[in-house]
Structure 1
Amino acid sequence: MLIDGFGRKVDYLRVSVTERCNFRCQYCMPEKPFSWVPRENLLSYEDLFKFIKVGIDEGIKKVRVTGGEPLLRDDLDYFIKLVNDYKNDIDLALTTNGFLLPQMAQKLRDAGLKRINISLDTLDTSRAKQIAQKDVLSTVLEGIKKAKEVGLKIKINCVPLKGINDIDVLEVLEFCKKEGFVVRYIEFMENSFAKSSSKGLNSDEILEIISKKYKNIVKVPRDSSSPAQYYKLEDGYEFGIIEPHKDDFCASCNRIRLTAEGFLIPCLYFEDAMSIKDAIRANDIDKATEILRLVLKNKPEKNKWSNEKDNKVSQRAFYQTGG
């Protein structure tokens, strides 16, 4: 069992397979040139898998594959199969912008992927283009349709930004209700790589918009294994809000992150990290395990988004860690 310095059980590993992305979303990496880390700097799928095995053997129960945009890395289905074949009851999921799903969804499902989170910030073509800086909506919707057809369990992620897609909050919810998807609204996490003018809606503002149509919104008791606070409408539909600006977001944090270059990151907000690359490439599993336990020991109690006295802008590049 993996326990951090504050007694929290860590059983969720997020693995970024690339920092590359084919979108340039305003809340993530709008000014970053289209470039990529040299292949030799990245851990191979086999090396990433070596560490995942360490994590699973030590108590990891959930593995999520992220990016950047993970579907940009070739043969991702091969990597998914490695993990699934090792432990086929692991909660194996993936987060994607959905643009490459039309041609990849079936391969991922066949490889053992069980669940998928897809970003959908609006159902308006022009606003989707404004956010991603690319004409993406029709292809993303095609990808969502394909993922549903092949039997993947789908959640939708939506980041509402003031003055851009805040007017789409209710429409995205209605779309997800109709399709049978869970939607999770994510409060914008202030970071130095986002467009400086970006301002997000907080949970109260999101709830206020939804309450204009649905009057009886009930707060669901929080599941300590989920980063989201869920709410139930009077018709039984549940949606979530991820609220990093609230203290209880960190109170039950069970997550740790591994980047494609081998950096093990204890907290999304902070830059602190230790590399397991050399240990894994040398097949020194004991050393990799030692680094894992040290990173957990140094995992901070909470991020700084909720602390008004601190600088609330993170220096973390989310495209390297998958959010």
Structure 2
Amino acid sequence: MLIDGHNRVVDYLRVSVTERCNFRCQYCMPEKPFSWVPKENLLSYENLFKFIKVSIDEGVKKVRITGGEPLLREGLDAFIKMIYDYKNDIDLALTTNGYLLPKVAQKLKDAGLKRVNISLDTLKPDVAQKIAQKDVLNKVLEGIETASKVGLKVKINCVPMKGINDGELVDILEFCKDRGYTVRFIEFMENHHAKDSAKGLNSEEIQKIIASKYNFKPVKRDGSSPSQNFKLNDGYEFGIIEPHKADFCSDCNRIRLTAEGFLIPCLYFEDALSIKKAVESDDIEKAVEILKKVLKNKPEKNKWSEDSDGETSARAFYKTGG
């Protein structure tokens, strides 16, 4: 069992396989050039898998593949199969923008993938183009539909932004409700890489918009889930991820590994240690030592919370997958 310095059980590993992305979303990386880290700087799938194996042996129960946009890295289905074949009851999931899913959803399902979280910030093509700086909506919707058809469990992520998609939150909720998808609205996490003018909605503002049409009540938080869920009268549940709430970090069970081998204890902070040399040299004991050191130094909470000064993170989310 993995325990951090604040006595929290850590059983969830998020693994970024690339920092590359085919979108340039306003809340993430709008100004970053379409460039990428040289392949030789990245951990191979085999070396990523060495660390994932160790993590599973130490108590990790959930592995999520992220990016950047993870589907941009070739051979992802083979990597997923490595994990599934090692422990087929692991909670194995993928976060994606959905654009490339139509061509690969079946391969990913056959490899052992169980769930996908897909970003859907709007149902309007012109708004999608404004957010992603690319004509993306039709492909994303096709990706969502294909993933569902092949039997992957679909969850939708939406980042509400003031003056951009805040008038569509009920429409997005209904789109998901009608199709049996869970939707989670994510408070915008202020970061230096986002567009300067980007402003998000907080949980109370999101709830107020949904309350204009629906009655709902909060549901008891599910363990270490980052989402506060709410239930409509008809039983449908939606979630809001609230990193600005003071208690958001109290049950954090996550740790992140970047494609270059940096082990990150907290999404907000830049602090990280590299396991690259350890896994490349098959020094698994050293990798475990680094893992436990990172856990020991895992911060108690981020600095987005309401009781902070509302600081902006320097974290590049395209390297960690959020």
TM over 0.5: yes
The amino acid of 2:98's aligned partner reads: G
- Other-structure match for 1:173: 173
In the alignment, structure 1 residue 24 sits paired with structure 2 residue 24: yes
Which residue number corresponds to residue 109 of structure 1? 109
Distance 1:271 1:311 in 2: 17
> 2:4 aligns to what?
4
Q: Distance in 1 between matches of 2:254 and 2:24?
A: 26
SS of equivalent residue, structure 2 residue 13: strand
Alpha-carbon deviations, 1:223-261, whole Å to 9, x = none? 122110000000100000000001211000000000000
Counterpart position of 1:46: 46
Aligned residues: 322
Partner of 2:229: 230
1:63 aligned partner, one-letter code: V
Return the alpha-carbon distance in structure 2 between the equivalents of residues 95 and 263 of structure 1.
Answer: 19
**In 2, Cα distance between equivalents of 1:10 and 1:300:** 13
Other-structure match for 2:60: 60
Aligned to 2:148: 148
Could you tell me which amino acid in structure 2 is paired with residue 152 of structure 1?
L
Deviations 1:51-100 (A, max 9, x none): 00000000000000000000000010000000000000000000000000
Which residue of the partner structure matches residue 256 of structure 1? 255
Mark the runs of 5 or more structure 1 residues left unpaired by the alignment: none
Q: Distance in 2 between matches of 1:287 and 1:312?
A: 34
**Structure 2 match to 1:84:** 84
TM-score normalized by structure 1?
Answer: 0.99
Deviation at 1:309, TM superposition (A): 4.4
Aligned residue for 1:157? 157
**Residues in 2 aligned to 1:207 and 1:174: alpha-carbon distance in whole angstroms:** 14
Match status 1:268 vs 2:244: no
1:72 corresponds to which letter in structure 2? L
DSSP 3-state at the match of 2:88: coil
Letter in 2 for 1:55: S
Give the equivalent residue in structure 2 for 1:118: 118
Runs of 4+ in structure 1 deviating by more than 2 angstroms, as ranges, are 307-311
Residue type matched to 2:14 in 1? R
Secondary structure of the residue aligned to 2:249 is: helix
What code does the residue aligned with 1:239 have? F
CA-to-aligned-CA distance 1:162-182 (integer Å, 9 cap, x gap): 000001101000000001000
Q: What is the TM-score normalised by the length of structure 2?
A: 0.99
Aligned to 2:35: 35
Same amino acid, percent of matched pairs = 74
> After alignment, is 56-65 or 307-316 more displaced?
307-316
Alpha-carbon offset, residue 311 of structure 1: 5.3
Alpha-carbon distance between aligned partners in 1 of 2:224 and 2:177, rounded to the nearest angstrom: 23
Q: Quick one: distance in 1 between partners of 2:61 and 2:70?
A: 20
One-letter amino acid of the structure 2 residue matched with residue 14 of structure 1: R
Specify the alignment match of 2:214 in structure 1: 214
Checking the alignment, whether the CA contact within 8 Å between 2:13 and 2:254 is kept in structure 1 is yes
Which aligned pairs between 1:183-202 and structure 2 lie closer than 5 A? 183-202=183-202
Letter paired with 1:221 = K
Give the Cα separation in 1 of the matches to 2:302 and 2:82: 33
Cα distance change, pair 307–174 in 1 and its aligned pair in 2 (3 A)? closer
Q: Report the Cα offset of residue 203 of structure 1.
A: 0.4
- Taking the aligned partners of 1:74 and 1:310, their CA distance within structure 2 comes to 42
Distance 2:131 2:237 in 1: 26
